[in-house]
């Protein structure tokens, strides 16, 4: 155990970090270790996230899974035409989860799920060459969900529950590529909002065809995090003192909508022997909802002082996932997996704020049963991105497009630790 911990500590040294995109698929140690699969695999309380429909199949009266991850990630940018280069220095992301399931009867269960499926922290050096698009961004959303699950037949069950999402955003960018005050300080805006709530739900169905085969489907609805006047504050600084400037220094109310897209998941689980479990899941995320990030900065009388339209034009995206589990002994299980994550970003809309091209995820992990009731779970994700030449063409100055282009390469590593308790 000590050895594993020391490896994890070693990995913490790689502290330059970033979380690609803002869907963060890190909702359980056991699921993640198997390529973040599990819509058709009932194993622990993690099923509350992966498929509420399967919850009722948990054997114990009380099942609890709790844990978290450290996301260490990195984005590099360079533009060989102009000789510019940059690298993020992002703080560590820490997605967490807690699932507690309680079996009411053989036919029904309830659960409480708390998880953080969306988030992003990207921090570039201030005033870097893409600072008119982003200096730093920190998105977070925590989902709190009560769940009810019930068997329709001996082999088919359903479940679901409403989601309360509480989101926050902190975003800093410069107003343009060159606007500055008389001392050359770049004009800047920082928006900050937290505790903004939105509502949604997830529902799932689970079917156990045989001892070897099971099937699951899950749908999590779209939730819009809508920032209303008073929810947050936008602070403008270093704006020149001039009526010709787009706005004045100081604090403004603002409105914005950040969509957290709906996600479909279907998957199968196959257990060829007592020792092996094989999972295959497919996600389909309805990212096309994220068309444009529009911010309106408001005067005290409610009129619009400045409008910021930031086209995104995301497209719906697939994720294909495979995972395997091997039970070495009663006490010890090993897991591995891989997935292909299609980027929702279209050509010409590659913004350094979410510099996400297609990626391959490689995962692994284990569980060690300390007692009959308590297990320690550990997992890791390595997310590999190809080097990509990309640009964001929708940025305009005085009505003229000024594409921000360059070469990007990202990587992310996320080790996690958790506990599973069964009573």
Partner 1 sequence: MKKYFNYIALPALALGLVACEPEFENEIEDGTVYTNGEANFSSYVAVGNSLTAGFADGALYITGQENSYPNIMAQQFALAGGGEFTQPLVNDNLGGLTLGGTQITNNRFVLATDENGNPGPALLTGTPTTDITNVVTGPFNNVGVPGAKSFHLVAPGYGNVAGVPTGQANPYFARFASEANATVMGDALAANPSFFSLWIGNNDILSFATSGGAGVDQTGNFDPTTYGPNDITDPNVFANVYSQEVSLLVASGAQGALVNIPDVTSIPFFTTVPSQAIPLDATTAATLNAAFAAYNTQVLPGLASFGIITADEAAARQITFAEGANFITIQDEDLTDISAIVQGPPFNLDPITAGLLSQLRQTTNDDLVPLTTAGVLGTTDQDFLNLLVSLGIPAEQAALQAINGVSRPLQDQFVLTSQEQELITTAQTQYNATIQALAQSNDLAFVDARSALQVVANGGVSFNGGVLTSDFVTGGAFSLDGVHPTPRGYAFTANAIIDAINEQYGSTIPGVDIGSYGTVTLSNDVN
- Residues of this chain that bind partner 1 (CB under 8 A): 1, 3-4, 7, 10-11, 14, 16, 72-76, 78-85, 129, 177-184, 240-245, 328, 332, 334, 362, 364-366, 380, 382, 385, 387, 396-398, 400-403, 407, 409-413, 415
Give the CA distances from residue 91 to residues 123, 145, 410, in Å, rounded to whole numbers and listed in that order: 8, 28, 15
Q: How far is the CB of 176 from partner 1 (least distance, A)?
A: 9
Q: How far is the CB of 293 from partner 1 (least distance, A)?
A: 20
Which residue blocks in 27-160 are alpha helix, DSSP H? Answer: 29-33, 47-50
Nearer to partner 1, 59 or 330 (CB): 330
Nearer to partner 1, 145 or 410 (CB): 410
Nearer to partner 1, 329 or 372 (CB): 329
Nearer to partner 1, 197 or 308 (CB): 308
Q: How far is the CB of 374 from partner 1 (least distance, A)?
A: 17
Q: How far is the CB of 392 from partner 1 (least distance, A)?
A: 12
Q: Exposure of 105 by Cβ count < 10 A (0-12 exposed, 13-18 middle, 19+ buried)? A: exposed
Nearer to partner 1, 105 or 398 (CB): 398
Lookup: tokens for 353: 């704020």
Q: How far is the CB of 396 from partner 1 (least distance, A)?
A: 8
Q: Which residues pair with 412 in a beta bridge?
A: 73, 383
- d(Cα 101, Cα 93) in Å, to the nearest integer? 26
The answer for residues whose C-beta is within 8 angstroms of residue 303's C-beta and 6 or more apart is: none
Nearer to partner 1, 146 or 240 (CB): 240
Which residue blocks in 141-269 are alpha helix, DSSP H? Answer: none
Q: How far is the CB of 205 from partner 1 (least distance, A)?
A: 34
Nearer to partner 1, 73 or 279 (CB): 73
Yes or no: say if 139 and 197 are a contact pair by the CB < 8 Å rule. no
Q: How far is the CB of 69 from partner 1 (least distance, A)?
A: 13
- d(Cα 360, Cα 283) in Å, to the nearest integer? 14
- d(Cα 54, Cα 207) in Å, to the nearest integer? 8
Q: How far is the CB of 43 from partner 1 (least distance, A)?
A: 19
The answer for residues whose C-beta is within 8 angstroms of residue 153's C-beta and 6 or more apart is: none
Q: How far is the CB of 279 from partner 1 (least distance, A)?
A: 19
Nearer to partner 1, 168 or 336 (CB): 336
Nearest to 423 by CA among 171, 100, 125, 206: 100
Nearer to partner 1, 127 or 190 (CB): 127
Nearer to partner 1, 99 or 366 (CB): 366
- d(Cα 362, Cα 351) in Å, to the nearest integer? 25
Residue 307: CB atoms within 10 A of its CB come to 10
3-state secondary structure of 348: coil
Nearer to partner 1, 38 or 415 (CB): 415
User: What secondary structure letter does DSSP report for 125?
Assistant: P
The answer for residues whose C-beta is within 8 angstroms of residue 154's C-beta and 6 or more apart is: none
Lookup: tokens for 356: 């996400």
CA 59 to chain centre: 30
- Alpha carbon distance, N-terminus to C-terminus of the chain: 24
3-state secondary structure of 363: strand
Q: How far is the CB of 414 from partner 1 (least distance, A)?
A: 9
Q: How far is the CB of 382 from partner 1 (least distance, A)?
A: 5
User: What secondary structure letter does DSSP report for 56?
Assistant: G
Nearest to 200 by CA among 164, 228, 167, 166: 164
∠348-257-403 over CA atoms, to 5°? 20
């Amino acid at each position: 155990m000590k050895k594993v911990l020391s490896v994890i500590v070693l990995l913490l040294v790689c502290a330059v970090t970033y979380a690609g995109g803002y869907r963060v698929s890190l909702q359980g140690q056991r699921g993640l270790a198997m390529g973040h699969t599990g819509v058709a695999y009932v194993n622990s309380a993690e099923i509350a996230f992966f498929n509420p429909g399967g919850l009722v199949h948990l054997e114990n009266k009380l099942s609890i899974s709790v844990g978290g991850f450290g996301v260490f990630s990195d984005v590099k940018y360079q533009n060989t035409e102009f000789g510019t280069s940059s690298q993020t220095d992002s703080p560590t992301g820490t997605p967490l989860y807690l699932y507690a399931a309680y079996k009411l009867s053989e036919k029904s269960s309830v659960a409480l799920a708390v998880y953080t499926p969306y988030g992003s922290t990207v921090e570039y050096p201030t005033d870097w060459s893409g600072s008119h698009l982003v200096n730093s961004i920190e998105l977070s959303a925590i989902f709190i969900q009560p769940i009810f699950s019930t068997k329709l037949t001996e082999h088919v069950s359903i479940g679901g529950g409403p989601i309360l999402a509480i989101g926050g955003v902190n975003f800093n960018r410069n107003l343009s590529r060159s606007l500055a005050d008389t001392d050359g300080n770049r004009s800047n805006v920082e928006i900050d909002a937290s505790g903004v709530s939105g509502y949604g739900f997830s529902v799932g169905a689970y079917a156990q065809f045989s001892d070897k085969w099971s099937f699951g489907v899950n749908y999590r609805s779209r939730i819009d995090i809508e920032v209303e006047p008073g929810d947050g504050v936008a602070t403008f600084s270093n704006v020149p003192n001039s009526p010709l400037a787009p706005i004045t220094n100081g604090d403004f109310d603002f409105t914005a909508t950040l969509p957290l897209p709906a996600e479909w998941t279907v998957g199968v689980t196959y257990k060829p022997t007592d020792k092996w479990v094989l999972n295959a899941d497919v996600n389909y995320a309805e990212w096309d909802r994220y068309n444009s990030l529009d911010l309106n900065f408001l005067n005290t009388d409610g009129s619009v002082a400045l409008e910021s339209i930031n086209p995104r034009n995301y497209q719906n995206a697939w994720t294909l996932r495979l995972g395997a589990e091997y039970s070495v002994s009663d006490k010890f299980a090993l897991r591995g997996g891989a997935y292909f994550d299609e980027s929702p970003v279209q050509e010409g809309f590659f913004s350094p704020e979410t510099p996400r091209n297609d990626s391959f995820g490689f995962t692994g992990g284990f569980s060690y049963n300390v007692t009959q009731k308590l297990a320690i779970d550990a997992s890791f994700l390595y997310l590999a991105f190809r080097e990509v030449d990309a640009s964001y063409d929708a940025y305009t100055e005085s009505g003229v497009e000024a594409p921000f282009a360059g070469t990007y390469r990202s990587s992310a590593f996320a080790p996690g630790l958790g506990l599973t308790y069964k009573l």
